[in-house]
Amino acid sequence: MKTGRIIRSLSGYYDIQLDGTEEIQRTRARGEFRNSKQKPLVGDFVDFESDRDEGLIWAIHDRRNVLVRPPVANIDIAVIVTAVKEPNFTANLLDRQLVALEAAGVDPLIYFSKFDLLSSKERQMMKQVVQDYRQIGYPVIESTAPNAFDQLKAELQDNVSVFMGQTGAGKSTLLNHLSPNLGLETGEVSKALSRGKHTTRQVTLIRVGDALIADTPGFSSYEVFDFSAETLDDFFPEFVAVRSNCRFRGCLHLNEPACAVKEAVTVGTISQSRYNSYKAFYQLIKAQKPKYKTDN
């Protein structure tokens, strides 16, 4: 029996890199996984047997975390590539991504791109936004910082990472700069739809120096929140830091009196935009139709 990490999945086949080596072997998953509704994912550590490149996965190790879309497990860092212009910065989208990662147990890193397109007045406003996220405790890199690229590479070293970001944020450009071998397609933001075509059809972990980067068909885990509205504040670290001071246990930080979160917003230790995102997400979750699990 051998142990390794799945670095690619495609059409029911799984390419596994053996522990401590560069050797890669191709396998399939045992039928029992389908029966138990388990599925190996890229990033999984697995036990497998192989003979002449015809292998079978026998066991999946416990996962530290997992994302559903894209399907990747055991991620160390998710880099959120966030444009400050073209397309214009929206706190709501960034906060959605941060909440989704907090819920999945994945550490985020915010990379603000296109700082060079800002006017001096716009730059001053964005500097305050950057400071707000740093104050929460999120690691932040500004694209125009003198050591921005080296700082990013240092963060990725010896880690498994995924890159996420809306079309036009510069994700593909940044990945190509990290490794020209990736050859990802880039293009201008669609003026009509602000959407791009996903050109990748599989999930792959690509080695870039001492880092493993997931090359994925797109990132949509933040489109629907798969948890209750009552637990939403668990995924706002600055809310968690003060909510024990709320008068009422289980405070939702909406209409309750003596709410420590709302008081923090009033005095400016929690940003108004973050609180606005919280309220919007709360209403969004409440409006979502419940999901019912079936046995099929």
What distance in Å separates the CA atoms of residue 224 and residue 292, rounded to the nearest whole number? Answer: 15
Q: Kindly indicate the confidence band of residue 145, based on its pLDDT and cuts at 50, 70 and 90.
A: very high
The answer to whether 115 is a known ligand-binding residue is yes
Q: Annotation-wise, does 194 bind a ligand? A: no
43 is in an annotated binding site: no
Q: Is 177 labeled as ligand-binding?
A: no
- Length, in residues, of the chain: 296
What would the pLDDT profile of 193-212 be if each residue is shown by its tens digit? 233 444 445 678 988 888 99
Q: Does 168 carry a binding-site annotation?
A: yes
**Annotated binding-site residue? 187:** no
Instruction: List phi, psi (to 5°) of 208.
Output: -125, 100
Any known ligand binding at 179?
Answer: no
- 167 marked as binding residue: yes
Lowest mean pLDDT among 37-41, 81-85, 103-107, 191-195: 191-195
Give backbone dihedrals phi and psi of 111, rounded to 5 degrees, phi first: -115, 105
- Residue 290 confidence class, pLDDT cut points 50, 70, 90: low
Please report the pLDDT score of residue 222 as a whole number.
62
Cα distance between residue 33 and residue 18, in whole Å: 21
251 is in an annotated binding site: yes
Q: Is 253 labeled as ligand-binding?
A: yes
Instruction: Summarize pLDDT for 7-25 with one digit per residue, the tens.
Output: 998 888 999 999 878 888 9
Q: What is the DSSP string of the chain?
A: -EEEEEEEEETTEEEEEETTSS-EEEEEE-HHHHHTT----BT-EEEEEEETTEEEEEEEPPPS-EETTTTEES-SEEEEEEESTTTTP-HHHHHHHHHHHHHHT-EEEEEEE-GGG--HHHHHHHHHHHHHHHHHT--EEETTSTTHHHHHHHHHTTSEEEEE--TTSSHHHHHHHH-GGG-----PPPTTT--------SEEEEEETTEEEEE-S---TTSS--S-GGGGGGG-HHHHHHGGGSSSTT--SSS-SS-HHHHHHHHTSS-HHHHHHHHHHHHHHHHSPPP-----
Does 73 appear as a known binding residue? no
**pLDDT computed for residue 174 by the predictor:** 87
Is 231 within any annotated ligand binding site?
no
pTM of the model: 0.86
CA 252 to chain centre: 26
Domains and CATH numbers, the chain: 2-62 (2.40.50.140), 67-215 (3.40.50.300), 229-287 (1.10.40.50)
To the question of whether residue 12 is assigned a binding role by annotation, the answer is no
N- to C-terminal Cα separation, the chain: 33
135 is in an annotated binding site: no
Q: Is 165 annotated as a binding residue?
A: yes
Contact by Cβ (8 Å): 96, 274: no
